[in-house]
Structure 1
Amino acid sequence: MHAAIPVATSQVQAPPKLAAPLFPLTRPNAPRLSAYVDDLAAIEDSCWLSNYGPVNDRLEHRLVEKLFAGVGECLTVCNATIGLMIGLKLASERSRKGPYVLMPSFTFAAAAHAVLWAGLKPLLVDIEPESWTADRAQEERLLAAHGDEIAAIMPYATFGTCLDLDRYDRLSDRYDVPVVIDAAASLGSVDARGMGFGTGSRHTIIYSMHATKAFGVGEAGLVYSSDAETIALLRRMGNFGFGADRSATLPGLNSKVSEVAALSALVKLADFEAQIAHRTALAETYLQELPGWTAQRTEGRRIAYQFMPMLLPADLISARDRIRTALSSAGVGTGQYFTPHIFEQPYFRTRCAAEPLPVTEALCARIMSLPISDFMTADDVATVCQIVRGICAEILGADAVQGFRA
């Protein structure tokens, strides 16, 4: 008999004890495939290792059932970047417009790369100062001025926040332009209705299952839409564009997930609700422990935190590098997503068009990401925050004597 895929929450296995406190920015909680040897043996015996196999089929159905209330359809992809690429390519084929994709500059490099690989050009907009998502007024102004040149809108659900998808419905209808949502960190986020972010949306929504995400399985991604035709077309595009006779009828590449990767995701799904609730509690502890820092104004009932992005107090902006260096020495990992932003990166600067980006630039100067993982406790977060406060107090005290001003 083969072991059944788990359906109930189980205890997270603790990592080995470390000799000294260590809080990396992210700490992958790998699905414990070592406990599912029979399932791995079944994959080996079946000789069906990829190509939308039975384990992958079970995974897709289970994801729709558990994360999207049984509404719509989904397609697994080998990573979210590939998902963005095929989503944008289909959007371009449908709109027959171009060359631009309207998107924020405050995002990860993968998003801009996906646009370029799809044969399109990023048209970068600023973000709003509290939500850190695309500037709505700028989006509408550019659509009104250049709608015939815009192949797709690609908003970013920044750091797992939920977006107003009804608004993007209206923009799509008004300007006759497809919408592809970059929701890389949003798998597990819950909107204001209490539904998984994206549930019921006709747009193409891409999520990441990279090891560093809350739903981290290694390398994988997910494409969701309520429109069955969209998912069917993307599935064919992810299989070299093949039609029924294995003759290419669409632009294609290979986006398929292995059966072992699909098994990893099934195992991960069993504990996912408990892990997201735990991460939410850690984020709340950060907010309590660092009251002088500014957090993102998120939308929705729950965010699938990958790490904790926050803005430094104004009088510490120029000391960010010193703070990060001191935290690293104390065993605390940090990041500064997304600095540099897309238009500051040499490869993209000559390949993108951009609106003025003052909010993006100001935010990038202040942002710092702090650790969250399934293995941390609220006491761990309190310890990290105590270290942060101590370092900042030391810097402010020394600089005050020297006449330091941000």
Structure 2
Amino acid sequence: MRRTHAEADARLVVARPRLPLAETILPYLQRIDEARWYSNFGPLLTELEDRLSQRFPEGTRVITVANGTQALALTLMAMELPAGGLVAMPAWTFVATAHAVLQAGLVPWFVDVDEQTWSLDPAALAARLSQAPGPVVGAIPVSPFGRPLDLAAWRAFRETTGVPVLVDAAAGFDTADDARLPLVVSLHATKVAGAGEGGFLATDDADLAAKVRALSTFGFRGSRDSLLPATNAKLSEYTAAVGLASLDGWPADRLRFLRAAQMLRIGLTGLPQVEFQPGWGADWITSVCCVTLPQDAADAVEASLAAQGVDTRRWWGLGCHASPAFADLPREPLDATDRLGRRVIGLPFSIDLTSAEIGRIAAALRHALSGV
């Protein structure tokens, strides 16, 4: 795709989300018009959940929810963990993980991640449980920017310790295919397969799925009687229409994302100081590009890139624990998280990233790194 001179001189934004085009959504909207069913688990939502469940082994239940944060919170509530108990979670995550834990009446316990994987190590966490500042009633490993987790190791952790596990795979749509641990995926507009807003729980636990469904719809379970304190977190038929169109386009979109990622990796080949997440753009894909820079170089590099018209973002800031909202929550020493917070930045990336834009990113990074 060729760009005009004005476009070439414009700022290069860090993210350029893209949802399905109106023409691909229209057939689903026409179905809504014909059915006159707009919410409350209509035919489009039912189809969306069925198609999502087909990405997992037979017997998997998929429950859609208004957004990924609500999916996490309602699943934690449905797990019926002791109120006020600690939930071990990485400090290296988006703030939504901690907000969901608090919303569920539980307490986040921030634990450090492995610096190579950017995620919690189940064996290391198991060894720390006896030193926790209170009863640990759950654990939430987070897929870092979509990188797959070792779910077999987390199942072993659950079996060995007896601690329930909920997987936060908000950005992990591409590789999410195992529901033997309850797993939450986001359908936000910024994700590789989005519906604007939304998220879903995938689980092989039929009872857990039924509880989350009830919690998302006023506590109803087959009647108009509200059986438990709950909320309204349903997806509308209109959101389901966008989600279905996203699924229609996913096979082709995945290839486009992979191609853009591989082109960017090739474009930055001459910059060994810039390290991609292992497997990104080859084994798995997500909608953002996070790279690791030399220690203590990120601030200067970001300032230089900004001056050159190339935007960046610290998607997780210095870590979830650094937000004022969580200042008083318990935490382990977070040395690896602190180092990652000072080294990891998000570069411009999108499904339609062009060769010219990759050239700009590479040139700007080369100039920025020459000064550090």
TM-score (normalizing by structure 2): 0.90
Specify whether residues 383 and 299 from structure 1 end up closer, same or farther in structure 2 by C-alpha distance, changes over 3 A only: closer
Question: 1:163, 1:299 within 8 Å by CA — same for their partners in 2?
Answer: no
> Aligned partners of 2:77, 2:208: CA distance in 1, in Å?
12
Structure 2 counterparts to residues 263-302 of structure 1, below 5 A: 263-288=241-266, 289=268, 290-298=271-279, 302=283
Check if 1:304 corresponds to 2:278: no
Q: Deviations for 1:36-87, whole angstroms, at most 9, x for unmatched residues? A: 434313313423111111100111111222x326551211111000001101
> Aligned partners of 1:258, 1:171: CA distance in 2, in Å?
37
Which range is displaced more, 51-60 or 297-306?
297-306
The residue aligned with 1:241 is 219
Tell me how far 1:339 sits from its aligned partner: 1.7
> Aligned partners of 1:87, 1:42: CA distance in 2, in Å?
31
> Aligned partners of 1:49, 1:15: CA distance in 2, in Å?
41
Structure 2 counterparts to residues 1-400 of structure 1, below 5 A: 19-21=6-8, 22-65=11-54, 67-68=55-56, 72-91=60-79, 93=80, 95-96=81-82, 98-146=84-132, 149-189=135-175, 197-199=176-178, 201-288=179-266, 289=268, 290-298=271-279, 302-314=283-295, 317-318=296-297, 320-350=298-328, 352-393=329-370, 395-396=371-372
Partner secondary structure for residue 353 of structure 2: coil
> Aligned partners of 1:46, 1:17: CA distance in 2, in Å?
45
Question: 1:326, 1:391 within 8 Å by CA — same for their partners in 2?
Answer: yes
Root-mean-square deviation (Å): 2.5
Question: 1:279, 1:372 within 8 Å by CA — same for their partners in 2?
Answer: no
> Aligned partners of 2:285, 2:59: CA distance in 1, in Å?
20
Question: 1:74, 1:225 within 8 Å by CA — same for their partners in 2?
Answer: yes
> Aligned partners of 1:212, 1:15: CA distance in 2, in Å?
24
Which range is displaced more, 383-392 or 234-243?
383-392
Question: 1:104, 1:134 within 8 Å by CA — same for their partners in 2?
Answer: yes
Partner secondary structure for residue 6 of structure 2: coil
**Structure 1 unaligned regions, length at least 5:** 1-13, 190-196, 397-406
Letter in 2 for 1:277: L
Question: 1:98, 1:151 within 8 Å by CA — same for their partners in 2?
Answer: no
> Aligned partners of 1:227, 1:300: CA distance in 2, in Å?
32
Which range is displaced more, 380-389 or 47-56?
380-389
> Aligned partners of 1:258, 1:226: CA distance in 2, in Å?
24
Question: 1:334, 1:369 within 8 Å by CA — same for their partners in 2?
Answer: yes
Specify whether residues 297 and 370 from structure 1 end up closer, same or farther in structure 2 by C-alpha distance, changes over 3 A only: same
> Aligned partners of 1:55, 1:160: CA distance in 2, in Å?
27
**Structure 2 unaligned regions, length at least 5:** none
The count of corresponding residues between Structure 1 and Structure 2 is 367
Q: Deviations for 1:285-325, whole angstroms, at most 9, x for unmatched residues? A: 443413222223359973232211111123xx24x334323
The residue aligned with 1:6 is none
Partner secondary structure for residue 273 of structure 2: coil
Report sequence identity in percent: 30
Question: 2:318, 2:337 within 8 Å by CA — same for their partners in 1?
Answer: no
Question: 1:309, 1:370 within 8 Å by CA — same for their partners in 2?
Answer: yes
TM-score (normalizing by structure 1): 0.83
Question: 2:288, 2:350 within 8 Å by CA — same for their partners in 1?
Answer: yes
Question: 1:283, 1:305 within 8 Å by CA — same for their partners in 2?
Answer: no
